[in-house]
Amino acid sequence: MSSAEIAVLPEREGFKIRWGDLAPFIALAVIVLLGTLINSNFMSANNILNVITRSAFIAIIGVGATFVVATGGLDLSIGSMLAFVVGIMILAMNALVPSLGAWAIPVGALVALVVGSLCGLMNGLIITVGRIEPFIVTLGTMGIFRAFITYMTDGGSLSIDRSLRTAYRPVYFGDLFGIPFPVLITLVIAFLGAFILYRTKYGRRVTAVGSNSDVARFSGVHVGRVRTMAFVIQGFCVAVAAICYVPRLGAATPTTGQLWELQVITAVVIGGTLLRGGKAHIWGTVAGALMLEVIANVMVLSDMVSEYLVAAVQGAIIIIAMLAHRFTSSR
Amino acid sequence: MTFAPTDAAGGAQEPPVLRTEDLSKAYGPITVLSDVTLEIRAGEVHAIIGENGAGKSTLMKLLSGHATPTGGTMSMFGKPVAFADAVQAEDAGIVLVHQEILLAPDLTVAQNLFLGRELSRGFAVDDRTMNRRTAEVLARVGSLARPTFRVGDMPLAQQQLVQIARALLDDRKVVILDEPTAMLTNDEVDALLGIVRSLRAQGVAVLYISHRLEEVEALADRVTVLRDGKMIGTWSAQALDQRQMAELMVGRELSMLYPPKREATTSEPVLRVEDLSVEHGRISGSFSVRPGEVLGIGGMIGAGRTEMIEGLMGLRPAQARAISLNGKSVAKPDVNAMMAAGLVYLTEDRKGKGLLLNEGLGPNLTLQALDLVNPGLRLDRKREGRSIQSAVREYDIRVRTLSIQAGQLSGGNQQKLLLAKVMLAEPSVVIIDEPTRGIDIGNKSQIYRFIDDLARAGKACVVISSELPELVGLSDRVLVMRSGRFVAELTGEDITEQNIVYAAASSGDDTEGRKHA
């Protein structure tokens, strides 16, 4: 049989609707619809912007976590790392105010990005060079970062210098053409993340390492480097979230970012990224982060369920999402 | 074959312990074992020999209840039996000792022996009785281990003995040993043979599966030969020597599957590997290959062929005194350095190490040569698309749509995709490990033609294969490996299945092929 007989269809990926990939967006739409039915205030521009802005932290960190999870890793230290980076950044800014004035803010932000990336690099190197499970390593660094922020705040709170508050405030509370800055930053980070993951060689290697690290190794992919880099991206994203976080409250406390790792992992997983690696959805993660915040908001607005049960509902959501995935993928 | 089976009516004094009649096994439309009629008597060592894929393990699974036959009958002591699972077979007195060690390393010897059938006194486990009975059975197999030793701390050979001891814990009529010496050193093999002999003296029927013909010659009372899923016959062991066994195992003619041989090449080697040592010397050797040559590497499974090549590629710990490729010296074994210098390796483990089964054609095809297809940081989708198109055409990968996932392709098409993947780097030397494992005959002959085309285009090909006809049909030269060393080099008319089997399976003292330095 000659090869000419085989009809090779052109690639038409764009036209094929993959319902599995759309699931997080459909779920988000359903929850928004429910929210509108339950309380008319839900759809007010004010409330919607508020909800989206608040979801920015989880979404930004979630973009980094998507990389880590896509390589088959897991980072439990992100909540503590955020607090640690916030603490370092505030210390740096306060120290720089006398000499630099308002310029202390961008320089402090730069310090945060470097520190965040280094924290990620440390996690990544311990995991890949030391060949230790990511779960164990980041469980350890989670404790270390949390202890450091408690030490830095002396158990109380570490506030940013008064003179910087007004200048820094807009990074969280300001907007451009009516779109809050944190939302813009989330969009930029998500676009960058999607570009790296789907359009670059590095992204291709991330997927390869996550779906089968043996295949990747046999194909000459430096598996350790790819994994480590994913943790650096994670650290960088944590630092970006920290930069948005400081103007909101103006201080770090020992409970800053506590349990955020669970929210982030929830967002990643309900966004359609496989926890065992390989399949990654940046925009699904963003939708997942929004979903968590919208659920909390709807519960606060409605009187049907106590808002103390928010975490229970979020917890139920992740299990339902996984069951749905099992159900649809087994066919 | 010149020798007729000598068994026939042998000793008809008492009914055999185990008898099969026309035993067959088919998976769907594919028959893997047909019409095996076999008698196993008390107090005999009955060897089952055959090439890889001859049906030995299928037969063992049927006898030990790990699989159920699709045809034929079994009887024990003249009474018909049928086993739904391994437990029923064990209750009847038939036990299979697996080739791999299947023990819990963190438990003690006694805990392993009684795993799942612990003795108890009231609610507490009865360690004292279990340890005593373990000590008894350990003594029976000549093990020096104590019942309280942790299995994971013991050497492999001792663990193997524990496995055999577990099989003997209850009174057994038939003990099936599947390649029991595959992982043992020579001294350990001798000890094991002694144990098998003492089992025979105790009246146990031992079914002994091995590809080491000298063991079979030394040990067996009778030998049954399987080939291509069929039973060739049963012989008295005295009637056969190792060479005759090898001939019975092979016994078929070269088909027309293979392209005609190329003329011998005399050019300088393109790849020269000197004193490659893998896993601290467990596997070592030197070899070279010329442009336009197909070098076959033969040997039994476990001889170390794949490990040697994976070592050469830097995929497992290895050192080499010197590696020269295309006239350039390669500093140390490494996949990327080798690919850059012009050497690629196609793994035998298509699904586990070759392809990303959940990914499409593009990510799979370009993963290894990613930097060549995409010069910048960004993925070049257009070039990738062109690569897919030309790979599909050139290697005749049959797909309905290009957006198919690799896991949905047939075995043959997966193999072609894998071949296209490693060829994307335009290498001058290609090492292909088991090029046709698990693929149908049509794709097989296509792959052979690809390999022939590569050689004719001046590439050097190294083919590792456990299929003897394949080695004979493709190779200009064959190196045979045994226990981690090259033991023979065959060229020209000497490349025959018999010679390869003989060199791979016998002790190799009187090998006709030249020793390879």
Strands B94-97 and B174-178: parallel
**pLDDT band for position A209 (cuts 50, 70, 90):** very high
Lowest mean pLDDT among A35-44, A51-60, B268-277, B459-468: A35-44
CB contact (8 A) between residue A8 and residue B402: yes
Would you state the pLDDT for residue A233? 97
In this complex, the residue of A13, A200, A212 whose CB is nearest that of residue B356 is: A212
Structural domain of A127: 44-297+306-319
Average pLDDT on B473-480 reads 92
A156 or B10, which is more confident: A156
Would you state the pLDDT for residue B441? 65
Percent pLDDT > 70 in chain A is 93
Average pLDDT on A31-55 reads 87
Would you state the pLDDT for residue B256? 58
Residue B486, H or E segment: strand B485-491
Residue A171 lies in a domain: yes
pLDDT higher than 70, residue A195: yes
DSSP at B354: I
pLDDT higher than 50, residue B515: no
The fold for domain B14-93+172-252 equals: Rossmann fold (3.40.50)
Would you state the pLDDT for residue B10? 47
Would you state the pLDDT for residue B52? 67
Residue B3, H or E segment: none
The span from the CA of B58 to the CA of B80, in Å, is 20
**pLDDT band for position B1 (cuts 50, 70, 90):** very low
pLDDT higher than 70, residue B183: no
Lowest mean pLDDT among A10-19, A45-54, A295-304, B350-359: A10-19
Chain B residue with minimum CA distance to A10: B402
Q: What is the 3-state secondary structure (H, E, C) of B31-47?
A: EEEEEEEEEECCCCEEE
Would you tell me how many other CB atoms lie within 10 Å of the CB of residue A31?
Answer: 18
Average pLDDT on A216-243 reads 95
**pLDDT band for position B75 (cuts 50, 70, 90):** very high
| Number of domains, chain A | 1
Would you state the pLDDT for residue B179? 83
Would you state the pLDDT for residue B446? 86
CB pairs under 8 A between A and B: 88
CB contact (8 A) between residue A211 and residue B358: yes
Residue type, B79: K
The span from the CA of B295 to the CA of A24, in Å, is 54
Residue A226 lies in a domain: yes
Residue A282 lies in a domain: yes
Average pLDDT on B82-102 reads 86
> What residues contact A123, with CB distance under 8 A and at least 6 apart?
A75, A77, A134, A137, A138, A141, A231, A234, A235
Lowest mean pLDDT among B54-68, B70-84, B187-201, B480-494: B187-201
Chain B residue with minimum CA distance to A210: B356
In this complex, the residue of A9, A200, A202 whose CB is nearest that of residue B402 is: A9
B256 or B450, which is more confident: B450
Would you tell me how many other CB atoms lie within 10 Å of the CB of residue B315?
Answer: 22
pLDDT higher than 50, residue B253: no
pLDDT higher than 50, residue A2: no
Residue A106 lies in a domain: yes
Handedness of CA B137, B143, B149, B151 (dihedral sign): negative
Chain A residue with minimum CA distance to B334: A220
In this complex, the residue of A208, A214, A216 whose CB is nearest that of residue B352 is: A214
Percent pLDDT > 90 in chain A is 59
Chain A residue with minimum CA distance to B443: A1
Would you state the pLDDT for residue B274? 92
Would you state the pLDDT for residue B507? 59
Percent pLDDT > 90 in chain B is 34
Backbone angles phi, psi at B405, to 5 degrees: -85, 150
The fold for domain B267-342+428-507 equals: Rossmann fold (3.40.50)
Q: pLDDT tens digit string along B307-357?
A: 999 999 999 999 999 999 988 888 888 898 999 899 999 998 888 899 999
Average pLDDT on B475-493 reads 91
Would you state the pLDDT for residue B259? 83
Average pLDDT on A18-28 reads 79
pLDDT higher than 50, residue B470: yes
Strands B18-27 and B71-76: antiparallel
B441 or B297, which is more confident: B297
Residue A26 lies in a domain: no
Residues of chain B with Cβ-Cβ distance to A219 below 8 Å are 335, 367-368, 421
Would you state the pLDDT for residue B163? 87
> What residues contact A49, with CB distance under 8 A and at least 6 apart?
A180, A183
Highest mean pLDDT among A222-226, A268-272, B402-406: A222-226
Q: Supply the mean pLDDT for chain B.
A: 85
**Helical packing angle, A134-152 and A78-100, nearest 10°:** 40
In this complex, the residue of B354, B356, B370 whose CB is nearest that of residue A201 is: B370
Residue A62 lies in a domain: yes
**pLDDT band for position B517 (cuts 50, 70, 90):** very low
pLDDT higher than 90, residue B260: no
CATH of residue A237:
1.10.3470
Residue type, A126: I
Would you state the pLDDT for residue A331? 43
DSSP at A252: E
Residue A177 lies in a domain: yes
Would you state the pLDDT for residue B227? 84
Residues in chain B, total: 517
ipTM exceeding the 0.95 mark: no
> pTM of the full predicted structure?
0.76
Would you state the pLDDT for residue A84? 97
pLDDT higher than 70, residue A190: yes
CB contact (8 A) between residue B400 and residue A9: yes
**pLDDT band for position A58 (cuts 50, 70, 90):** very high
Which of B306, B348, B367, B396 best tests the A interface by mutation, with the highest count of A CBs <10 A?
A: B367
Would you state the pLDDT for residue B212? 77
Residue A3 lies in a domain: no
Look up residue B227 and give its two tokens: 């080939």
Where does CATH 3.40.50.300 sit in chain B? 14-93+172-252, 267-342+428-507
Average pLDDT on B465-469 reads 85
Give the rounded distance of the alpha carbon of A267 from its chain centre: 8
Average pLDDT on B218-242 reads 89
Q: What is the dihedral of CA A63, A68, A69, A75, to 10 degrees?
A: -100
pLDDT higher than 60, residue A88: yes
Chain B residue with minimum CA distance to A215: B353
> B131 by DSSP, 3-state: which?
helix
pLDDT higher than 60, residue B254: no
Residue type, B390: S
CB contact (8 A) between residue B315 and residue A216: no
**pLDDT band for position B2 (cuts 50, 70, 90):** very low
Would you state the pLDDT for residue A11? 44
Strands B271-278 and B283-289: antiparallel
